[in-house]
Amino acid sequence: MFRLTKRVIVILKVVWKYHLISSLLGFYRSFAKGGIPSEPICAPAEGWEAEGERLRLALTELGPTFIKLGQLLSQRPDIVPPPIIVELQKLQSGVAPLPFEEINRSVTFPCECVDEATGEKYSTCRQLEDVFQEINKEPLASGSIAQIYRAKLDDNEVVVKVLKPEIERVIDADLRLLRLMLPVGARVLRVKGFDPELIVDELSTMLKNEIDLRLEALHIERFQRNFKNWDKVVIPRVYWEFTNNRVIVMDFIKGPTAGKRPSLTDEQARYYANLITKAFLQMVYVDGFFHADPHSGNIILLLEDEKIAFLDFGAVGRLREEVMLDALEVFYAFFTGDVSKALKGFLRLVNITEKDIDIDAFYADLDELIEKFQAGRYEKGQGDNLARLSLKYKLPAPRAFVVLERAILLVEGVCNNLYRYYDIKEAIAEQFTVNELLKQEIKRGVKRLSDASVKLVRNLPDIIDHYSEYRPQSAPDSTPERHASPNAHYAPYVVASIIAGIGLLFPLCTSLGGLNVTPQANVFVPLVALVLAALVTLFASPRK
């Protein structure tokens, strides 16, 4: 209880120091009353930058939990205005490091030793300096949760990522306070659409994932599998024997980060910008598992080998196959300039219908964005434009899509800083040929067709029962035959035709790459479909 009281006092002092209540209260009340003019889709955020900066500085001073809260809110344009988001997106670095001695005391490595005299085994614990041949006591980087050191292990250059001491206890106390404070803050600031409990739950999940470094090691191994055929993308190797929930050891990758903007020719800059984009497209639209924090400090340029490397895999995004295919449809439509397809895919992605919005106005705005995309002329990144379009029409979006939007913004920012003439269409053309995009489009269609087929097969017994028991209802002044529904006579044949059509299209889809199946399936699936269609025709036809 004393610890919580002390923490509350610290928080109140920081809030008072940066005048957060008065500045944010004024901002949100003005925002709610329409005092801040609405901006065009592509317009940059203006005004209230000072308030956003004070909020960022306050969150940084309050420590890891509040820094992560700021990073989480920077992904929520539906409740946080653009000027504040711009500042919150800077909460990626600049955290003061702790002395090495504090870090070293908080880490132990279990070790099994043998007594030379008796031959008995016993367990002991070692610290960082006992495990590595050399370790640089000056950290390479310091984040809100962990610090990173350069070391040598069995003559290999490695990096050691270590959690800060007692970080779990600090985070647990802060989360309990946030559950009490956020609802009060939301009422005072009159923030609409803000669910404090949901935010804290999301923040808790994020932090618990990041304070178990074994999860990051698993993410690294998955990226290694996904990029095993990519010679130009490097993912560091994990040393599992020296990795636990508080420490992760991996290969040291030497090279400048994309953020340091090394001296590059235009051709080199273009090459690296396109390579970064292509790797990200692979993560999102092929693997459905992507780096959720690809800012410039997490991307290394290996100039001698013309390769890139990704770092810091604590934050990742996962896309369900349905979301991935819908996102791909929007992506493909932008690339081909098909506004109608982009509209349908986008509405499906955010799970609304045409009746829920002003469809004509939305179509016009989307057409404008695609026109600028095709011409390669837009003031901000395309992901930012889509985010602003969603915000303008107050469209809901799945959390996975919100995380994806932010990652796209980061990648576009990195590439625009690297190469002044950066055009994402060029990278798309290098990564996906027209045939490959068509195959992905076919895969999306086959997936939906197969889902419909499964639903049809599941309901087939009910359909058969319905039509096999069908008896036309007679009217007082007519015969049964005259008033029987014509649909009842033709329905079984329609069902049979659909089943047969699915079976006959199956080999075509597999030959085009839409499905990955064994050769035997190309024979058995059409046969089974034809037999099933015949059975439906024979037994489900209405009896006279």
pLDDT digits (tens, 9 = 90+) for 300-329: 999 999 999 999 998 888 988 778 877 777
Q: Assess whether 182 and 302 both reside in one domain.
A: no
Which of 11-25, 135-149, 512-526 holds the top average pLDDT? Answer: 135-149
User: For residue 258, which phi and psi values (nearest 5 degrees)?
Assistant: -60, -25
* Average pLDDT score, the chain: 77
- Confidence (pLDDT) at 51: 79
Measure the CA dihedral 204/207/212/214, to 10°.
110
Q: Is the residue at 29 inside a domain?
A: yes
Over residues 166-170, the mean pLDDT reads 86
Question: Above pLDDT 90, what percent of the chain?
Answer: 20
- State whether 406 and 363 are in the same domain: yes
Q: Out of 187, 222, 244, pick the residue that ends a domain.
A: 187
Which residues are 234's β-sheet partners? Answer: 309
334 and 462, same domain (yes or no): no
Assess whether 160 and 178 both reside in one domain: no
For the ranges 47-56, 168-177, 351-360, which has the lowest average pLDDT?
A: 47-56
In a domain, 203, yes or no: no
Same domain, 321 and 427: yes
Least confident of 218-222, 243-247, 509-513: 509-513
Do 285 and 218 share a domain, yes or no? Answer: no
In a domain, 194, yes or no: no
Q: What is the pLDDT of residue 37?
A: 39
Q: How confident is the model at residue 399 (pLDDT cuts 50, 70, 90)?
A: low
What pLDDT is attached to residue 41? 37
As a whole number, mean pLDDT of residues 217-224 equals 96
Q: In this structure, what is the dihedral angle of CA atoms 528, 533, 537, 539, given to the nearest 10 degrees? A: 40
Domain range for 522 is: 445-539
Residue-level pLDDT at 64: 85
Q: What is the pLDDT of residue 543?
A: 52
Q: Which of 26-30, 351-355, 386-390 has the lowest mean pLDDT?
A: 26-30
Confidence of residue 458 (pLDDT cuts 50, 70, 90): low
Q: Is the pLDDT of residue 475 over 60?
A: no
Say if 200 falls within a structural domain: no
Q: Which residue has the tokens 């985010």?
A: 387
Q: Evaluate if residue 378 carries a pLDDT over 70.
A: no
Cβ pair 343, 363 in contact under 8 A = yes
In a domain, 437, yes or no: no
State both tokens at 420.
Answer: 């002044």
Tell me, yes or no, whether 195 lies in a domain: no
Res 437 pLDDT > 70? no
- Among 401, 432, 463, which residue terminates a domain? 432
Residue 352 sits in the same domain as residue 498: no
Number of separate domains in the chain? 4
Q: Does 233 lie in the same domain as 100?
A: yes
**Given a cut of 50, is residue 75 above it in pLDDT?**
yes
From 234-243, 343-352, 481-490, the region with the lowest mean pLDDT: 481-490
Q: How many whole angstroms separate alpha carbon 134 and alpha carbon 136?
A: 7
The reply to whether 201 falls in a domain is no
Please tell me the least confidently modeled range out of 288-302, 331-345, 523-537: 523-537
Question: Quick check: 472 pLDDT over 70?
Answer: no
Residue 539 has pLDDT above 50, yes or no: yes
All residues at 6 or more sequence positions from 542 whose CB lies less than 8 Å from its CB, including other chains: 467, 470, 488, 489, 492
CA distance 379 to 361: 21
Domain match, 148 and 36 both: no
Half-sphere exposure of 276 (CA within 13 A, CB side): 35
Which two three-digit tokens encode residue 36? 């801040």
pLDDT of residue 39: 44
Pair type for strands 233-234 and 307-310? parallel
Task: Tell me the pLDDT band of 515, cut-offs 50, 70 and 90.
Answer: low
Taking alpha carbons only, the member of 316, 336, 232 closest to residue 276 is 232
Position 202 in a domain = no
pLDDT score for 139: 92
What average pLDDT does this structure show over 19-29? Answer: 68
Residue 155 has pLDDT above 90, yes or no: no
**pLDDT-derived band of residue 496, with 50, 70 and 90 as boundaries?**
confident
**Per-residue pLDDT at 413 exceeds 60:** yes
- Does residue 11 surpass a pLDDT of 90? no
Q: Is 390 left (phi over 0), alpha (psi -120 to 50) or beta?
A: alpha
Residues 86, 107, single domain; the answer is no
Asked if the model's pLDDT at residue 267 lies above 70, the reply is yes
- Within this chain, do residues 69 and 103 fall inside the same structural domain, yes or no? no
Higher-pLDDT residue of 482, 333: 333
First to last CA, the chain: 82
Residues 137 and 283 in one domain: no
Residue 237 maps to which CATH number? 3.30.200
